[in-house]
Amino acid sequence: MSALDVSAAVVFRGGKLLLATRRPGSRHAGLWEFPGGKVQGGESCGEALSRELREELAFSWEGEAIPMGVLRQPPTGEAPELRLHFFYCPAPGEGEPVPQEGQQAGWFSPRQWEELPLAPLDRQFLESHREELTGLAQESQPMGARPGRLPPWLKSPFQGGVERREMRHLLKQGALHTVCDGAKCPNRCQCWRHRTATFMILGEICTRACRFCSVPHGRPTPPEPEEPRRIAESVAELGLKYAVVTCVSRDDLPDGGASAMRETILAIRQRCPDTLVEVLTSDYGGDFQAVDQVLSAAPAVFGHNLETVERLSPSVRSVAQYRRSLAVLEYAASHAPQGTVVKSGMMLGLGESDDEVRQALKDLRNVGVSLVTLGQYLQPTPAQLPVASFLLPSRFLQWRRYAEEELGFASAVCGPLVRSSYLAGEAYWQARQGRP
């Protein structure tokens, strides 16, 4: 029984999302959904989308549809598997949708989305892509932005409450540090609310002074022998199924801190055998023996960030080098235990060109990286580099499409507020199980 492919349009105008009700007589009739319909023989998903919008709503848009994701509904009885393809359709035309088949249609603000009775898969997509959709809604609003002000899609709302206070108490009680606070991550309240955090080992003082990072630099204190155990206990207390561990650069240590990273992985595995561990490491000065130490603990993901394009690397990073980072990633990809995947990340908005980003992504893919993250650089404090440009949320969608569909990355997590560990677990499982 062949699968049934259905295309769904994600269309915004003036900060509002276009939704329509299901046709009378259909399954879930009357429930709201992203407009679209079945892909017919010989059609592409984009062609089907354009046809369905014309036939159902007498509506059209300009430009190329950008894939946002696929949801699957298993076959039931005689019904085949359903694959629902979501596409962002920028630049909608001026006309209003005119339902043709007894449906309703309208434009809805993010607050109104919550109140609508949505079809099950459409609700699932909205909930799993809430921040991305909110950013696209804000992008579609007319803006009279003043110089130096953040665009609306980069204003992360405060979240937390009781969960946030509990997380801070736990970290303080265990004398632990997180990159969430040290790097002023814009997602930290959201992550803490969901009882997740990226633990930063080897103290909170870095031996390097990268020009994009607000983590303090200077002379660090000696490593704490009990730190791996304390982190493992915190992972257990939080009930984490997927933990991320990163570190400050420790060029003062003979192995750059690799043995401490190894001991932390092993401590978490001993205390929480079902928890997967992702690590985000320094380049260890290009010392492959240090890389081997970390790989010997068999993390689920070995990560090291390229950070920026080759031309900008000397002015953005301090000791780290573009080619050395690629060499570390290539070594990790070729020497990692079976099942370990290799990951890297970059910041955009530092003055790079599109061609330079394409080349950096090609370089990462060529050395064996299968997971990549792309996010907007935000100046943590006035002491760090200023932002050269703010990328639209739709541009990050295009970069995700390029990375996954043209270069073959197993997963590319791209968005204005994306940071290295954002959606880390989801990206890992996507890489292991294959993209839908």
pLDDT of residue 182: 47
- Closest Cα partner for 283 from 232, 245, 332? 332
pLDDT in tens, 53-110: 888 888 887 678 889 988 988 887 777 888 999 999 987 767 888 988 778 999 999 9
User: Tokens representing 298?
Assistant: 């068999």
- The whole-number pLDDT of residue 145 equals 46
What pLDDT, on a 0 to 100 scale, did the predictor assign at position 77?
74
Q: In the chain, which stretches have pLDDT less than 70?
A: 1, 62, 93, 143-148, 156-197, 422-423, 433-436
Q: What is the pLDDT of residues 152-187, one digit of tens each?
A: 888 765 455 555 555 566 556 555 555 544 445 555
pLDDT at 397: 93
Determine contact, residues 345/375, Cβ cutoff 8 Å. yes
Residue with tokens 């240090």: 290
The tokens for 52 are 């369905």
* pLDDT in the model for residue 191: 56
The phi, psi pair for 241, rounded to 5°, reads -95, -15
Q: Which residues, at least 6 apart from 159, have a Cβ–Cβ distance to it below 8 Å?
A: 189, 190, 193
User: Could you give the CA distance from residue 258 to residue 264 in angstroms, rounded to a whole number?
Assistant: 10
Q: What is the pLDDT of residue 421?
A: 76
